[in-house]
Amino acid sequence: MKPLSSHPRRLLGHACLLALGLLLAVPAASAQDEFGPVVTAYLGYLRNEQEVVDDRISRREVSPIYYRHNSNRIRALRQMAIRIARETQNDYLPELEAVSRQELRLLFEQPPRMETLKVDEVIGYKFRFLGSVRSGETFYVFARLDPYEQAELQEKGAKSANPPPEEQGRGVKVTARSPRVTSP
């Protein structure tokens, strides 16, 4: 039998999780009005991911450090998705990846030097750097290029016999592709 002193703490923990869920639900309701079905679906996906992480911490299946890290990642992805949707006013999002500095090797064999990386720079013909988001910790957000973009960039790189030295080491700097437009 558990001591009575643990019940108030457990109740407080459940109340905090409920409050977090309510805070995440309020912006989601307004997102349905502001964004199209693709962006709304992605924000719903992130909300579901947060619910999974919340459930796992409530059952003590994960550590508090894991919980905070993944909640921060979800928040960073949400912030970037909303920023892209508002800036482009388009119902399209690329496949987004958010990694901390320690996780860069998950995306790159030879991670780029983040201090010198510029927004919209393409790394290894596979990822476009979208920027960093501070969400409890700093996450670097990348858009995974689709196969057509990759092939186009590789073709341009092959045509350029002597790319500048900064392009040889890190990738090719290009301007952002215009987003796809979907009809309502």
Q: What is the pLDDT of residue 153?
A: 86
pTM for this model (two decimals): 0.68
Q: Exposure pattern of 58-94 as b/e (b: 16+ CB <10 Å)?
A: eeeeeeeeebebbbbbbbbbbbbbbebbeebebbebb
* Tens digits of residue pLDDT in 135-144: 889 999 999 9
Q: What is the pLDDT of residue 173?
A: 40
